[in-house]
Structure 1
Amino acid sequence: MKLQKVTVAAAAALMLSLTAAGCSSDDGGDKSSGGKKITIGIKFDQPGIGLKTPDGKYTGFDVDVATYVAKQLGHDPDDIVWKEAKSADRETLLQRGDVDFIAASYSITPKRAEKVDFAGPYLLAHQDVLIRADDDSIKKPEDLNNKKLCSVTGSTSAQNVKTRIAPKAQLQEYGGYSECLTGLENKVIDALTTDNSILAGYAAQPEFKGKFKLGGFKMSNENYGIGVKKGSDLKAQINTALEKMVKDGSWDAAVKKNFGPANFQSGPAPKIGVIVS
Structure 2
Amino acid sequence: MSVETSPTLVPAGDEPEPGPVGPVRRQLFWIVPLALATIGLSVYLLLHHRWGADVAAILTLPVEVVGLVVGILIERGSTRIPTLRVPRGRRRVWRWAATAAALVLAGTATVWWFQREPDPRDFLSGVIRIGYTNEYAGWHATGGRPAHGMDVDVAYALARDFGFTIKWVPLGRLTNRMAALNGSWVDDQGQTESAVQLVISNFSMTPAKAETIDFAGPYFVDSQGYLSATPAHDISELPTTGRVCVLAGSTSSDALYQRGWSTLEKPSLDTCLSAFTQGTVQAVSGDRTTLAGFAWALGKDPATYIAFANGSEEYGIGLPNNRPRLCAAVSTTLDKFLTNEWERSFKENLKPIGLVPADVVKPGHTDTCQRPGPWNQD
Please confirm whether the aligned pair reaches a TM-score higher than 0.5, indicating the same fold. Answer: yes
- 1:17 is aligned to none
Taking structure 1 as the reference length, the TM-score comes to 0.74
- Unpaired segments ≥5 residues, structure 2: 1-120, 185-194, 369-378
Report the residue type matching 2:149 in the other structure. G
Match of 1:215 in 2: 306
How high is the sequence identity, in percent, across the aligned residues?
26
More helix by share: 2
Structure-to-structure mapping, 1:1-277, within 5 angstroms: 30-33=122-125, 36-53=126-143, 55=144, 57-75=146-164, 79-85=165-171, 86-96=173-183, 98-132=195-229, 135-136=230-231, 140-142=234-236, 144=238, 147-153=242-248, 156=250, 158-159=252-253, 161-162=255-256, 166=259, 168-205=260-297, 208-210=298-300, 213-232=304-323, 233-248=325-340, 250-264=341-355, 265-273=359-367
Cα deviations by residue, 1:202-243 (Å, 9 ceiling, x for unpaired): 1222xx113874334132100111110111232111100001
Structure number with greater CO (CA < 8 Å, separation at least 6) is: 1
Q: Which moved more, 1:171-180 or 1:218-227?
A: 171-180
The answer (yes or no) to whether the contact 1:150–1:158 under 8 Å persists in 2 is no
Instruction: Give the strand-richer structure, 1 or 2.
Output: 1
**CA distance in structure 2 between the aligned counterparts of 1:111 and 1:170, rounded to whole angstroms:** 26
Which of structures 1 and 2 has the bigger CA Rg? 2
Deviations along 1:30-71, one digit per CA (max 9) or x if unpaired, are 3334xx100111132322122354x47422211111221222
3-state SS of paired residue (1:273):
coil
Report the CA distance between 1:146 and its aligned residue. 6.1
Task: Kindly indicate whether the alpha-carbon contact (under 8 Å) linking 1:42 and 1:62 is maintained by their aligned counterparts in 2.
Answer: no
Deviation, 1:176, is 3.1
After superposing the two structures, state which structure 1 stretch, 116-125 or 213-222, moved more.
Answer: 213-222
CA distance in 2, matches of 1:141, 1:210: 17
When normalised by structure 2's length, the TM-score is 0.56
Residue 244 and residue 44 in structure 1: after superposition, are their counterparts in 2 closer, same or farther (change >3 A)?
same
Conserved in 2, the CA contact under 8 Å of 1:200 and 1:262?
yes
Find the aligned partners of 2:296 and 2:235 in 1 and give their Cα distance. Answer: 22
Q: Is the 8 A contact 1:43 1:49 kept in 2?
A: no
Residue 105 of structure 1 aligns to a residue whose secondary structure is: strand
Q: Deviations over 1:156-177 (max 9, x none)?
A: 35336336x63x3322223432
- Kindly tell me: are residues 160 and 107 of structure 1, through their superposed partners in 2, closer, same or farther at Cα, counting changes over 3 Å? farther
Tell me if structure 1 keeps the 8 A contact 2:234–2:309: no
Supply the AA of the counterpart residue of 1:152.
Answer: L
Amino acid at match of 1:259: L
* Length, aligned pairs only: 232
Equivalent position SS for 2:223: strand
Report SS of the residue matched to 1:179.
helix
Distance 1:227 1:218 in 2: 25
5+ residue gaps in structure 1?
1-28
What is the letter of the counterpart of residue 197 of structure 1? Answer: T
1:190 Cα deviation after fit = 1.0
CA distance in 2, matches of 1:141, 1:124: 20
- Which is worse superposed, 57-66 or 233-242? 57-66
